[in-house]
Amino acid sequence: MWGDKSDEELDLESSGDICLLQRYRYATFTDEDNPPMCPINLRGLLQTEVALRENTQREIALKEKIGHLSKEDTYVTVLQDLQEELSTLSTEYWTLERRWWEIRSSYDDGPLTRGIDFWRSQPKWYMHQVLVEDCIGRGGCCGRDCGCCSHRQSERKFAVGHCTVECSCCERARGFALDPEQKSQIRESFKLDYKSIRAWYYNRIKTASLLGLMAGSYENPLDLIVDLPPRYATPSEESQGSNWKNYLRRSSR
């Protein structure tokens, strides 16, 4: 029956080699001679997750702003506008969450889905080395000592993950807010789409995010989860980012 574990998959499970097991599961998805019975929309799932993170990070930013303005002499209409935007964000989150499940629930019960379920069951799956390095490259919080990505302050299920154009901590770090055009440009530059000229970027993020895999690496994917060093004090502006980068260099050896 389609979806049952093959002898090869069972043998790999018994061997304990997680990397080869995950690679095998992904290979079944890319096998043109024996494709899945139903299309599996990985791109849509990842794009929806980015939209969910944008939503939650904008929500965090608004709550911070409301908390700050509430302590000052602020026009009531300003606070009302922010509260209305919060309400709109909540509605959008509800819609996006159901879009995510619409896509995810369409996946068959085959090897790829088992691979995704295994990886996403890891509490810190999103701190995979590839995803952390991508966050650093995009100027996100993994390049500083704030720890936002590892400990995102939100009760939302889909808040976990890395920085988007709506991250308030990134805004404070760079010293200016992005205008709508800049946000659109950044979204387009890092769009997760196999049809774009950056298809390799999409594939790299896809395999790391969904399966814990990294091209050219046969390490246990669990060993590629970056174990962040503890933070005991607020670092100076001059030292921000250096500790993280040094730590990543050490962990990748």
Residue 86 buriedness (CB in 10 A; 0-12 / 13-18 / 19+): middle
Q: Report CA torsion sign: 99, 118, 129, 150.
A: positive
Confidence of residue 236 (pLDDT cuts 50, 70, 90): very low
Location of structure tokens 């989150």:
93
pLDDT at 240 over 70: no
Mean pLDDT on 171-181: 96
* Dihedrals phi, psi of 174, to nearest 5 degrees: -85, -20
From first CA to last CA, the distance across the chain in angstroms is: 43
pLDDT at 108 over 70: yes
Q: What is the pTM of this model?
A: 0.85
